[in-house]
Amino acid sequence: IQTEALAQISAAADERSLDDARVAVLGKKGTLTLVAAGIKDVPKEDKAAVGQLLNAARTAITAALEEKQVALREIADRAALAGIDVTLPARSQHVGSLHPLTIIRDEAIRILRRMGFALAEGPEIEDEFHCFDALNTPADHPARNEKDTFYFDSGKLLRTHTSSVQVRTMESQAPPIRIIAPGSAYRRDEIDATHLSVFNQLEGLYVGTDVSLPDLKGTLEYFLRELFGTNTEVRFRPHFFPFTEPSFEIDVKLTVKGQAPKWIEIAGCGMVDPAVFEAINKSRKDNAFDPEKVTGFAFGMGLDRLAMIRWGIKDIRLLIENDARFLKQFA
């Protein structure tokens, strides 16, 4: 039986005939299986010897089957590869890339952290106290209008700026404070090439003793030149915010190839108004932000605008449309 099986195995030309050979000898009705079943009729004194013979035959046949299978696979593989040039480069895979807003946000955070600012955060669903009242914004201020702000029936609202994080940070920490808070802000703006109803801001707050206006200007100019290059043109325009005094808007010159350069507003900033410190003290029930002792500066920039300047993007809507032709340029 063994000799016959080994001959059949070695003659097998493919995996199917090899399997036939296996079934013929080791299958349920295979020749060796049938002989093994007959061992019960063998006289007791011969059983051990016969058993040994059967085992030896089974081991030899199984080994031959395995060896032949490996050999057949190798032949099949070689045949499959014939005519294929395995040295050709592989077809390229589509790999995703970071969104421009993510790139600019991470870069802004990295620069500001190097300057000693720590990350802070607050909720996007805010109350009027943290978004307006504590920021010295009177009840009749236009920013609080239902026309400009998304209100919930509960009286809560979608924060219109990340400045609410200033308030939350000062409520829970004492000076010196040096934080940045990137996040979404919401306004009921008419949607056009530079406005969306949701946008991305990065808030900054520095409170301590002797924080001055030159600190504010120096910090922001350094930051913008780190981000856009040392030749970046920056201008501070006097402005008004209820929570800073004096206040400024910051413009950066945007140059798009083939177009006249344009100043684009990217941030609001100023020295923290003492009225804000007073509101914070009242909320904290202490005098940790004594307006006689501490000063501070704050800024809030539009990350979408920063991305538009960095890459010369003319329409803010490109940032939310997820058009692959746009996004793949940032790979």
Binding residues for Mg(2+): 245
Q: Applying CB under 6 A, what is the total number of residues that bind ligand PHE? A: 11
Instruction: Report the residue number, 68 or 305, with the smaller CB distance to ligand PHE.
Output: 305
Instruction: Report the residue number, 8 or 160, with the smaller CB distance to ligand PHE.
Output: 160
Binding to ligand PHE by residue 270, rule CB under 6 A? yes
The stretch near ligand PHE (CB under 6 A) out of 20-28, 114-122, 222-230, 297-305 is: 297-305
- What residues between 28 and 87 interact with ligand PHE by CB under 6 A? none
The stretch near ligand PHE (CB under 6 A) out of 22-30, 34-42, 151-159, 240-248 is: 240-248
Binding to ligand PHE by residue 8, rule CB under 6 A? no
For residue 92, what are the contacts with CB-CB under 8 A and spacing of at least 6? none
Binding to ligand PHE by residue 296, rule CB under 6 A? no
In the complex, least distance from residue 208 CB atom to ligand PHE, rounded to whole angstroms: 16
Instruction: Report the residue number, 54 or 309, with the smaller CB distance to ligand PHE.
Output: 309
Binding to ligand PHE by residue 244, rule CB under 6 A? yes
Binding to ligand PHE by residue 183, rule CB under 6 A? no
Integer Cα distance of 63 and 116 in angstroms: 70
In the complex, least distance from residue 102 CB atom to ligand PHE, rounded to whole angstroms: 21
In the complex, least distance from residue 247 CB atom to ligand PHE, rounded to whole angstroms: 6
- What residues between 130 and 169 interact with ligand PHE by CB under 6 A? 161, 163
Q: Which of 254, 279, 298, 308: binder of ligand PHE (CB under 6 A)?
A: 298
Binding to ligand PHE by residue 219, rule CB under 6 A? no
Peptide bond into 246 cis (omega under 30): yes
In the complex, least distance from residue 249 CB atom to ligand PHE, rounded to whole angstroms: 8
Instruction: Report the residue number, 19 or 171, with the smaller CB distance to ligand PHE.
Output: 171
Interface contacts to ligand PHE, rule CB under 6 A:
161, 163, 241, 244, 247, 268-270, 298-300
